[in-house]
Structure 1
Amino acid sequence: MKVLNAPVAAKKPKKLEIHDDVRIDEYYWLRERENEEVIDYLKSENDYYDNQTRHTDALKESLFQEMRSRIKEDDESVPYRYNGYWYITRFEEGKDYPLYYRKADQEGAVEELLFDCNGMAEGHSYFHLRGINISKDNRKVAFGIDTVGRRIYTIYVKDLQTGELHQNTIENTTGSSVWANDNETLFYSRKDEVTLRSEKIYRHVMGSDPQEDVLVYHEEDETFNAFVYKSKSQRFIIFGSESTLTSEYSILDANNPQGTPHVFQPRIRGMEYGISHYGNDFYILTNADGAANFKLMKTSVDKTSKEHWEEVIGHREDVLLEDIDIFDKYLVVSERKEGLNLIRIIKWEDHTEYYLPFDNETYTAFPSTNLDFNTVVLRYVYNSLTTPSSTIDFNMDTREKTVLKEQEVLGGNFDKDNYTSERIWVTADDGQKVPVSMVYRKGMKKDGNNPLLLYGYGSYGATIDPYFSTVRLSLLDRGFIYAIAHIRGGEYLGRKWYEQGKLLAKKNTFTDYIACSRHLISENYTSEKHLYAMGGSAGGLLMGVVINMAPELYHGVVTQVPFVDVVTTMLDTSIPLTTGEFDEWGNPQDPEFYDYIKSYSPYDNVKEQEYPHLLVTTGLHDSQVQYWEPAKWVARLRDRKKGDNKLLFHINMDAGHGGASGRFEALKEEAMEYAFLLDLEGISL
């Protein structure tokens, strides 16, 4: 077999100057998506990846078949009821995509096939359907389709009586839409063609030309994104607009689609709120007036501004109020305390309350699809690092629970009693205690010889909960420990945990992760020779920073669609997402933020040093993190890194930020990443 040399990207220095500071970017030209030289370079990286990993092809195939064998291929969701119908999602054996069905809630009703995504995906290397939206009379369905992977959807409308598609389609949307109660008027959000920012909401009347659709709402602030949805009560169309720190809503009577939306509460910078309608009131989840962990307020439907809000659940320093679900007899509150999910049930009539009992040390529990007002049954999902996911119906009157479905793990050798999980606390550089959740096979010895994969994210307040994964068993059964570092920048320990990991405190995210890594080594869970790191998107930024700061801690790193060219991206407002992220990272037009971001930006801090073995992945059509960020980063790493450790770069030429769209193709990508780790451990089977 001929061994290929690592690709070498041409250096074409570009001078980037701001605040009297000059950066030279020798790989800026890789942004030229239509340039044949760029495509050739990306293809050469894929060829090099294939060449360098050919000896693991059998392992990759074995892992893929193993992962696939655990999946119940002919599976279906637990049906949920909505507006007189039961809705079911089904997978068929050997097929990549779901089939969507419904069945009238009456005796003798026959199932109707709404969509067979397998047939719809034919001829496309990527396919995603989203935003299924049924009209109130149950006769039409609107839905969005993306066949590129850039999250730009075309909306179609299907007649559910004839099965025919309406002639008019709506281009360049988010894929989501909302029917007014007249069953003829559709509201949807459209994206800017360059920045992909969702900025305008239109009203479309069936039978009319989409080019004549009426602009109902225009979000002119480029740091905000606009969206539209319908209240659970079906009474209001709700127009929302959010930035990282601020939100604003407008409401419109769903029976009067030609009306003018009314602003619920004008935006106040730094104030976030969300609204839910019930009876004559709106319930408002908000951080107003210093309620960092949020509080619940209510106000009447005709007096919606902030001065009329009354407190229902006050702010608590030790409990994060995450969400609410409203039923006719009960209010269900999703909370988080000390990192763990809590589900609180409150009866409207007499305000008696209780919590659902959970007794695991580390688990995930959350309300599922609950679209029906007039029921005493709450549907929720429970799983943990060792326990497959269960869908449960809980009777809030009798407090009896019914397990409707537990995720099946096929393959014949899974027994949850073979695994154990734990949560440990690590002292960060500034004394904060950082939790780490982990899972491994029973009998693990803390002798420093265990391979350990530490996953991290730590941005946007997103919490990586400890969830069950059938795919992960392929590592656990080969002796790996799998761990999640609940670092600052996420909301695992409440809103302040997020605030301490963003803007000018962003470096806490990185030093927390490094502290967790050092602790796992010092406590002999693993060692530098066996510790591996993984993160994607903003978690890929995390990977890029920690290997600049502490490369000696890790034997290998997998970084998926990594956000690594932070300064250049945040200075370019034409790139999708940039303007909406100033409140997360800071605006480098401000010298203070420029200097701070530059001090950690992975691309700007690549050093002449040894780096761990690296596998970097991206998608050519990625709209969240453009492909050129990892491409430039890999090129600079190749030029500057010392030593002979592997640097592999794989580009999915047919996908975007989420990778492959089919369930089996997605498994192949995970098998690729696991094979990289196992190969570094010398594990071939």
Structure 2
Amino acid sequence: MTSTPLQNSASTPSAATPPVAKKVPTERTHHGDTYVDNYEWLRDKESAEVVAHLKAENAYQETVTAHQEPLREAIFQEIKGRTQETDLSVPHRKDGWWHFSRSVEGKEYGIQCRVRASDTGDRIADWTPPAVEPGVEIPGEEVLLDGNIEAEGKPFFSVGGTAVTVDGTLYAYAVDNSGDERFTLRIKDLRTGELLPDVIENIFYGVSFSPDGTRIFYTVVDDSWRPYQVKAHVLGTPVSEDTVIYQEDDTAMWLGFELSSDRRYLVLGIGCSEYSETRLLRFDDPAQEVTTVISRDERVLYEAEPFLLEGPDGAKAEKILLTHNRGAINSMVSLADPAELAKPLAEQAWQTVVEHSDDVRVNGAGVTSTHLIVSIRKDTIERVQVMGLAGLGTAAQQEPVEPAFDEELYTAGVGGSDYEAPVIRLGYTSYFTPSRIYDFVLPTAEQPAGELLLRKESPVLGGYDGSDYVATREWATAADGTRIPLSVLRHKSVRQDSTAAGVVYGYGSYELSMDPNFGIARLSLLDRGVVFVIAHIRGGGELGRHWYEDGKKLTKKNTFTDFVDATDWLANSGWVDPARIAALGGSAGGLLMGAIANMAPEKYAAVVAQVPFVDPLTSILDPDLPLSALEWEEWGNPITDANVYAYMKSYSPYENVREVAYPKIAAVTSFNDTRVLYVEPAKWVQELRNRTTGSEPILMKIEMDGGHGGASGRYVQWRERAWDYAFIADSLGASELLPGAGLK
């Protein structure tokens, strides 16, 4: 790559004038194609000139949006006014303790606590969480970690993992103080409150103690921010002597770990979006040998859970539970004997537990000591099913039992379960039902349907009434005839007279589903008459694996055209004025925002792109950049494949900015984001300003102390969301509350 300066420095405009970055042409040549990038120099975050430019961008957006400050403050106060600031989670039992977190009014961060559990012999009673009240201590309550104390004097605070030894004496926690997702691990002796001398720097998410509490496992990232090592630290020994349990050298594979449900194994998960490999380390194996379940060479996408299954004779046999896509694009669940896995794959005999269905996506499966738990997706909705382990994989296998809920659009997922517990914890929410926590009593012969016990519904203050709002499932039709599911949310007083404002939100990547969830901040838009549409576009996972595969690699443009088709549905629905529609998306959804802004700028009054992946080709062409190599399975590899290069170049937002009247655009990003580097929106915004033939402002808002999720601290995050929503509401002329709406 070659660079030639055209100008000596960036201009220094007044705050009312958009900053103009200097042009330093940098040539990038691949597959015979040369692209000249004028703003690649903005990648140097150590440069004082770059930092000054970013600060000028902030000053400009602050000036342009200054009139929105009262609206931002109003939305912030609405979020705050609906939130019970002093609150606590439902305690969950881990071994001999109930763990929970508290939040306190005026404090940014949660406080992690525990209280001792009792074992009376009544299993249901022993797994019934203690009654807790906001602001009221429980006798014997212990504070494990107060995030407010830990964050004091720090620009950023995030916890990347915690762990407690089985005997409850040691507590490990990993903290990030910069937003770059590199954590420092510390260990507290809960008997004395003192920190152990063991401190491990620069680890990634997730920590676990060995069952005997003598070792702690953690993950390390390489220079491209890819987790590639799982290491073990023996307490009391120098960190320099930590053992590498496993190292993954394939730059396109992600590495993680967990303990098996029965804690007999360390389970190493290695994979990408198309195939995977599980390796097992049995804790009682004297040789400490790591074994492979199914080699990645077989190109099977799977997860494996080792466990002991009791047979009809009462003897327990080692089994491997497999959730896999072998001959099953939507995945299925099978049971395998370890001896079978030693054979060539084609010769292995597995027992079917959950068969494949074109209409049901199997997301995962796990076990307790008595039951199989399966997560599935049907008709876009995530559901949970359970069945007893007795007879599993045989003709005597029990029928699945599914907890029943009474809403059409909802999300129900396993929120945690303990191997020995007679209950599993479920999380439930819908668009207008605040988060609920249930315990589902697992089915027995005496109670074959199980029992759903509501433990808590998150309180919403300010006179909230869910019946004031309406959520419906609608369908847009794509140009190729595909039906695209939409979730359409509105205040009940909005009339279908083509006058309201509307927002279309989308993501559409990595097989992630935009499931129904309750959002306090979103109410502030609905209360201003905005119709909020979630477009479940291809590239997501809402309608199974095909839905994902039809929106990735060389079919990625379906994601973008689906979003535009969803916008057209809204424009023609009779609910909104077609001139009052905004678009919203973040990360890969930010790429979506850049693509649709280029494809159909006339359809949007405003676009908000949060931490937007708008320069994907530059990033993925450089395998040394953070996480780039991992993206090849999602987008294709433009380094080796000329067709992928040409296809990506044809939709890359930064490289397809054209001379057209762009709508109002806000690119919201963070300086320390390691997933989507700030340089992408910084370059994009410059090019948009260069090319637009319109007069609408194009802004960049950058959090100088945040990461991919923005700044830390709940009040700061509420203000960030208020900024985004105020920008949208102001752009759509929807600043005023509907009569009777808002805080009561």
The two structures share one fold, judged by TM-score above 0.5: yes
Q: 1:150 to 1:295 in 2, by over 3 A?
A: same
CA shift for structure 1 position 269: 5.5
SS at structure 1 position matched to 2:387 = strand
Q: How many residues align?
A: 680
Structure 1 spans left out of the alignment, 5+ residues: none
CA shift for structure 1 position 525: 2.2
Q: Does 1:352 align with 2:399?
A: yes
Number of the residue aligned with 1:649: 700
The answer to whether the 8 A contact 2:529-2:734 is kept is: no
User: Counterparts of 1:195 and 1:480 in 2: how far apart (Å)?
Assistant: 41
The answer to whether the 8 A contact 1:143-1:176 is kept is: no
Q: Which amino acid is the alignment partner of residue 259 of structure 2?
A: K
Number of the residue aligned with 2:224: 195
SS at structure 1 position matched to 2:620 = helix
Q: Does 1:211 align with 2:278?
A: no
1:414 counterpart (443, 459, 464): 464
Q: 1:13-52 maps to which residues of 2 (within 5 A)? A: 13-52=25-64
1:534 counterpart (556, 570, 584): 584
CA shift for structure 1 position 400: 2.6
Q: Does 1:64 align with 2:76?
A: yes
Q: Does 1:556 align with 2:606?
A: yes
The answer to whether the 8 A contact 2:606-2:732 is kept is: no
The answer to whether the 8 A contact 1:559-1:616 is kept is: yes
Q: 1:488 to 1:236 in 2, by over 3 A?
A: same
User: Counterparts of 2:299 and 2:322 in 1: how far apart (Å)?
Assistant: 16
Q: Does 1:591 align with 2:642?
A: yes
CA shift for structure 1 position 430: 0.9
2:474 counterpart (413, 421, 424): 424
Number of the residue aligned with 1:103: 115
2:551 counterpart (501, 514, 525): 501
User: Counterparts of 1:551 and 1:106 in 2: how far apart (Å)?
Assistant: 62
Q: 1:259 to 1:363 in 2, by over 3 A?
A: same
Number of the residue aligned with 2:426: 380
Q: Does 1:297 align with 2:347?
A: no
CA shift for structure 1 position 353: 2.8
Q: Which amino acid is the alignment partner of residue 95 of structure 1?
A: K
Q: Does 1:623 align with 2:674?
A: yes
CA shift for structure 1 position 684: 4.0
SS at structure 2 position matched to 1:353 = coil
CA shift for structure 1 position 121: 0.3
Q: 1:499 to 1:683 in 2, by over 3 A?
A: closer
TM-score under structure 2 length normalisation: 0.89
CA shift for structure 1 position 302: 5.3
RMSD over aligned Cα, in angstroms?
A: 1.6
Q: Does 1:241 align with 2:270?
A: yes
User: Counterparts of 1:359 and 1:436 in 2: how far apart (Å)?
Assistant: 20
CA shift for structure 1 position 318: 0.8
The answer to whether the 8 A contact 1:244-1:581 is kept is: no
CA shift for structure 1 position 469: 0.8
Q: Which amino acid is the alignment partner of residue 336 of structure 2?
A: T
2:173 counterpart (133, 139, 143): 143
SS at structure 2 position matched to 1:125 = coil
Number of the residue aligned with 2:23: 11
User: Counterparts of 1:147 and 1:3 in 2: how far apart (Å)?
Assistant: 30
CA shift for structure 1 position 352: 3.1
Number of the residue aligned with 1:174: 204
The answer to whether the 8 A contact 1:245-1:269 is kept is: no
User: Counterparts of 1:181 and 1:578 in 2: how far apart (Å)?
Assistant: 36
CA shift for structure 1 position 50: 0.8
Of stretches 662-671 and 352-361 in structure 1, the one that deviates more from structure 2 is 352-361
Of stretches 453-462 and 7-16 in structure 1, the one that deviates more from structure 2 is 7-16
Q: Which amino acid is the alignment partner of residue 283 of structure 2?
A: A
Q: Does 1:613 align with 2:664?
A: yes
Q: Which amino acid is the alignment partner of residue 620 of structure 1?
A: F
TM-score under structure 1 length normalisation: 0.97
2:192 counterpart (159, 162, 174): 162
CA shift for structure 1 position 182: 2.6
CA shift for structure 1 position 93: 1.2
The answer to whether the 8 A contact 2:412-2:429 is kept is: yes
User: Counterparts of 2:440 and 2:94 in 1: how far apart (Å)?
Assistant: 18
2:322 counterpart (270, 281, 284): 284
The answer to whether the 8 A contact 2:15-2:59 is kept is: no
Number of the residue aligned with 1:318: 359
Q: Which amino acid is the alignment partner of residue 378 of structure 2?
A: K
SS at structure 1 position matched to 2:197 = coil
The answer to whether the 8 A contact 1:143-1:175 is kept is: no
CA shift for structure 1 position 257: 7.6
Number of the residue aligned with 2:130: none
Number of the residue aligned with 1:329: 370
User: Counterparts of 1:123 and 1:308 in 2: how far apart (Å)?
Assistant: 59
Structure 2 spans left out of the alignment, 5+ residues: 1-13, 120-137, 309-317, 391-396, 737-744
Q: 1:667-682 maps to which residues of 2 (within 5 A)? A: 667-682=718-733
CA shift for structure 1 position 247: 1.0
SS at structure 2 position matched to 1:520 = helix
CA shift for structure 1 position 94: 0.8
User: Counterparts of 1:269 and 1:61 in 2: how far apart (Å)?
Assistant: 55
User: Counterparts of 2:543 and 2:23 in 1: how far apart (Å)?
Assistant: 45
User: Counterparts of 1:286 and 1:21 in 2: how far apart (Å)?
Assistant: 40
CA shift for structure 1 position 258: 6.4
User: Counterparts of 2:510 and 2:399 in 1: how far apart (Å)?
Assistant: 35
CA shift for structure 1 position 111: 1.4
CA shift for structure 1 position 35: 1.0
User: Counterparts of 1:680 and 1:368 in 2: how far apart (Å)?
Assistant: 38
Q: 1:436-475 maps to which residues of 2 (within 5 A)? A: 436-475=486-525
Of stretches 150-159 and 269-278 in structure 1, the one that deviates more from structure 2 is 269-278
CA shift for structure 1 position 215: 1.7
The answer to whether the 8 A contact 1:224-1:241 is kept is: yes
CA shift for structure 1 position 503: 0.4
Q: Which amino acid is the alignment partner of residue 539 of structure 1?
A: G
Q: Which amino acid is the alignment partner of residue 335 of structure 2?
A: K
User: Counterparts of 1:78 and 1:394 in 2: how far apart (Å)?
Assistant: 14
Number of the residue aligned with 1:659: 710
The answer to whether the 8 A contact 2:98-2:115 is kept is: yes
CA shift for structure 1 position 640: 0.9
CA shift for structure 1 position 256: 4.4
User: Counterparts of 1:391 and 1:115 in 2: how far apart (Å)?
Assistant: 23
The answer to whether the 8 A contact 1:571-1:588 is kept is: yes
1:134 counterpart (151, 164, 182): 164
The answer to whether the 8 A contact 1:378-1:396 is kept is: yes
Q: 1:257 to 1:124 in 2, by over 3 A?
A: farther
User: Counterparts of 1:253 and 1:180 in 2: how far apart (Å)?
Assistant: 11
The answer to whether the 8 A contact 2:500-2:530 is kept is: yes
Q: Which amino acid is the alignment partner of residue 135 of structure 1?
A: T
Deviations 1:380-401 (A, max 9, x none): 1221112111111222333332
The answer to whether the 8 A contact 1:281-1:298 is kept is: yes
